[in-house]
Amino acid sequence: MKVELREVWKEYRMGQVTVAALKGVSITISRGEMVAITGPSGSGKTTLLNMVGCVDKPTRGRVLIDGEDVTPTPLDRLAPLRLKKFGFIFQRFYLLPTLSALHNVMFPMLKAGVKRAEAQKRALELLDTVGMRERATHLPYQLSGGEQQRVAIARALANDPDIILADEPTGELDSESGRVVVELLHRLWKDMGRGVVVVTHQSEIASRCRRKIVMRDGRIVGGR
């Protein structure tokens, strides 16, 4: 799968002032790549990532998924796309607090129409992959931050996505837990052949990615 951004602008109007978070960004990201996005705070990294993952719409420019222009499609209609093609990992994990680790991982599968037994089997496998199988029945509040993020990675993998999008996935973790998470993301790319896009401030993480994009003031100023 391939996501293509062409001359994408994102502007926020706040009264008289217009803030441009993205100023004509063009970039292509494919399955099989591991990409780091770095840059100072406020440079537009999250905005760019959200354009790629179809959770936000550009003010101008086009977004193409496998060559198809999805710019005019309402965000709700893109829910199936987000469900099946992308995996999201958030800085704050955002596991559903009412569900156990296992059910958090099963949740996107059930939404995608996978049979319950099948979903459970695959969720357990994924929890195994991230080393959380023993904690399957635990609720999020019973897990540490690093453990929650590993469950979140398993959840992102639930529907076998092509591209995993992670916005500062280690931002809330200590260096040891962070290392485990980065190791997992690396494996997703290297062993499983997924596309992985990581927004990060940490140079050690960026250095593990073959492709590096540097942003400043809404523009890509380094890497391609």
Partner 1 sequence: MSLSWLFLKGRRVVATSVAVMLSAVLVLSMLSVSEALEKSAEERERASSEDILLTTAYLSNGIPGGHALSEEISSDSNVTVATPISLAIASALVGGEDLPLVGVGVIPGEIEKFMGEDGVLFISGQKMEISDFFEEKGDPYFAGGYKGRWTGEILLDEVLKGKYGLRKGSRIELSGPGGRMNFTVSGFFSTTLTGGGVVSYYVKGAFMVHLSELQALSGLALSPDNGTVVDRCWGILIKVSEKLREDNEAFESFASSLKARYPLYKVITPQERFKRLDEQYNLVKVFSFSISFISASVGLLFLLAIMYINVQQKGQLLRVLKAIGASNRDIFLEVYLSSLLILFVSFLSAIPVSYFVAGYINDYFVSSTGIDVSYAILNTSVALKAFLIFAGLGAVLNLYPTFKAVRIKLEGVRAPPERW
Ligand X SMILES: Nc1ncnc2c1ncn2[C@@H]1O[C@H](COP(=O)(O)OP(=O)(O)OP(=O)(O)O)[C@@H](O)[C@H]1O
Residues that bind ligand X (CB under 6 A): 12, 14, 19, 21, 39, 41-47
- Helix and strand totals (H; E) in the chain: 7, 10
Contact 108, 126 (CB under 8 A): no
Round to whole Å and give the CA distance between 42 and 49.
Answer: 13
101-120 positions binding partner 1, by CB under 8 A: 103, 106-108, 110-112
Whole-angstrom distance, CA of residue 169 vs CA of residue 193: 19
Binding mask 8-37 for Mg ion (x = CB under 5 A): ------------------------------
Residue for token digits 């602008």?
9
Contact 72, 60 (CB under 8 A): no
100 binds partner 1 (CB under 8 A): no
DSSP helix, strand, coil percent of the chain (3-state; round to 5): 35, 30, 35
Taking CB under 8 A as the binding criterion, the range among 89-97, 126-134, 142-150, 187-195 that sits at the site for partner 1 is 89-97
Rounded Cα distance, 136 and 31, in Å: 29
Give the range of 27-35, 97-105, 186-194, 206-214 binding partner 1 by CB under 8 A: 97-105
Q: How far is the CB of 62 from partner 1 (least distance, A)?
A: 18
Specify the pairing of strand 86-89 against strand 34-38.
unpaired
Q: Which does 19 bind (CB under 5 to 8 A by kind): Mg ion, partner 1, ligand X, none?
A: ligand X
Q: Locate 141 and state its tokens.
A: 């509040």
Region 121-180 residues binding partner 1, contact defined as CB under 8 A: 155-156, 159
Site for Mg ion in 36-95 (CB under 5 A): 46
Binding of partner 1 at residue 19 (CB under 8 A)?
A: no
Smallest gap from Cβ 112 to partner 1, in A, equals: 7
12 binds, among partner 1, ligand X, Mg ion, none (CB under 5 to 8 A by kind): ligand X
Residues of this chain that bind partner 1 (CB under 8 A): 46-47, 50, 53, 55-57, 75-76, 79-80, 82-84, 88, 90-92, 94, 96-99, 103, 106-108, 110-112, 155-156, 159
